[in-house]
Amino acid sequence: MSSNLRQAVLKEAYQWFGTPYRHGAARKQVGCDCLGLIRGVWREIYGYEPEKPATYAPDWAELSDKEPLLDAAAKHMMRCPMPVSIKDIMPAQVLIFRWQPTMAAKHIAIMGQEGRFIHAYHGHRVLTSALVPQWFRRIAGVFEFPLPDGQVKQGRNL
């Protein structure tokens, strides 16, 4: 990921701070869930969304043996090697978490600065959390926003 793209992703993600948690939403300072945060940052960077997710229930991952979040990330983003340590994760990388080994991954966030990640968390507003070992061991995938391909929003210099 270029440093300009990394900076643009972080700048936009930090602008979502304080957005209330709203399941299925993706509007800055109005409401979003964890996927909505990623969708909103993507929209600002590229000027469009790569796909609109179907309506999903809060417990969707408990009901499926598929990996829709990991599959969508692999389809639209660049997969990174799984980190060996917390220090291997770069700011602006997208982290996907799995709560239980037998369940689909169902939480997504953007790595911020100083060992903290940005996410929308049920019952809270968009915030940062420390990537402590309890979070780190739940990482199911690491991705990066793709390099611009000509569909980037006008005026954006990435």
pLDDT at residue 7, rounded to an integer: 96
pTM assigned to the model: 0.89
Confidence of residue 52 (pLDDT cuts 50, 70, 90): confident
**CA 31/CA 142 separation, integer angstroms:** 25
CATH number of 3-144: 3.90.1720.10
DSSP class per residue in 104-151:
---EEEEE-STTEEEE--TTSBSEEEE--HHHHTTEEEEEEPPPP-S-
Mean pLDDT of the chain: 89
Bridge partner residues of 31 (DSSP)? 27
Residue 14 pLDDT exceeds 70:
yes
Tens-digit pLDDT profile for residues 67-126: 999 999 999 999 999 999 999 999 999 999 998 888 899 999 999 999 999 999 889 999
